[in-house]
Amino acid sequence: MLDWQTQRRIELFLFEEARLLDAGQFQEWLKLYEPQGIYWIPSQPGQTDPLNVASIVYEDHAILAIRVQRLLEARALVLTPMPHTTHLIGNVEAEEAGDGGFTVSAAFVCVEHQGDRQRIYSGRHSYKLARHGDSFRIKMKRVALLNSDGVHTAMAVPL
């Protein structure tokens, strides 16, 4: 078990990430990632292979930077009107990783409201975090959507 201060600092880091996404501050969100950090949403439950199995998203910082620019572009059609989200994070379990960082697992719910429709996403996040001064940086975030292999509609805001 982690000491409660570290546990709390990790929770607050996750909450900060959620708040940045909810506020549409995607550039600030991207800064939470290490330069080689990876954001991954598998397409299958339990997926371990990002090369031979398609992913909803499997992107490193460089590709994410393009994605973030697109989210901020006035003409991203799927973002008109701009969706509003609530990213809710809970059940946070963190432990020390061998490399001096941490592995974290958390449940999430994201409610997205856009125009006249509302959608709900949920599942589990797993993080590999590195220490960064008083805070952390994301080496890997894996979003295991409850319906990863289900029928989807177009999605735009990161989970």
Q: Which is nearer to another protein, 32 or 64 (CB)?
A: 64
Site membership for another protein, residue 77 (CB under 8 A) = yes
Q: Mapping DSSP to helix (H, G, I), strand (E, B) and coil, where does residue 62 land? A: helix
Q: Is there binding between residue 146 and another protein (CB under 8 A)?
A: no
Determine, following the binding rule CB under 8 A, whether residue 69 of this chain makes contact with another protein. Answer: yes
**Of 5, 4, 27, 28, which is closest to residue 16 (Cα–Cα)?**
28
The one-letter amino acid at 22? D
Residue with tokens 């379990």: 93
28-47 binders of another protein (CB under 8 A): 36, 38, 41, 43-44
CB distance 129 to 102 below 8 Å: yes
Q: Which residues bind another protein (CB under 8 A)?
A: 36, 38, 41, 43-44, 51-60, 62-63, 65-67, 69-70, 73-79, 150-156
